[in-house]
Structure 1
C-alpha cells in the first residue's frame, strides 16, 4: 500500500466521502504535513500513516493556529 493517496483513492479505501475529507482539511481537523500534504504538482495527498496516528490519538492532532480567529478581538487593555 502506498503511504500517500489522492483524495479520491483515500475516499475509496477509507469510506470517507471526498467532501468529508476536504471538509476535515479545510476545517483544520487534519493538519497539513501530519495527515495531508501538498504534492509538488499542487495535488493534495492524504498521508495514510498520519491518518492512522490521528485515529489512534482520538483526534488529538490539532491545528496550530496562525494568528487570531476570524471575528475575534484582541484581549482588553487593563
Structure 2
C-alpha cells in the first residue's frame, strides 16, 4: 500500500496527526514525494517515503 491517510500514518508511525500536518506545512514532507492531494482535496501520505525520512535516509 503506497498511500494512506494522515490518521493511519499517525497510527503506524507514532507521529501525531498534528505533527504530520506541521511537517507538511513546514516543508519537511514535500508534495508529490511524501504526500499527494487527491482530486477530491484529501491528503494522502506516501508511507514508504515517510519511513525513509524517519530513518534518516532522505532529508
Q: Gaps spanning 5+ residues in structure 2: where?
A: none
Question: If you compute each CA radius of gyration, which structure gives the higher value, 1 or 2?
Answer: 1
Match for residue 46 of structure 2? 47
Q: Distance between the aligned counterparts of 2:13 and 2:52, measured in 1? A: 14
Q: For 1:5, what is the secondary structure of its paired residue? A: strand
Query: What's the TM-score once normalised by structure 1's chain length?
Result: 0.66
Q: Distance between the aligned counterparts of 1:50 and 1:40, measured in 2? A: 21
Number of aligned residues: 58
Q: Gaps spanning 5+ residues in structure 1: where?
A: 61-78
RMSD: 1.3
Q: Distance between the aligned counterparts of 1:37 and 1:19, measured in 2? A: 17
Query: What's the TM-score once normalised by structure 2's chain length?
Result: 0.85
Match for residue 4 of structure 1? 3
Q: Distance between the aligned counterparts of 1:39 and 1:50, measured in 2? A: 17
Higher helix share: 2
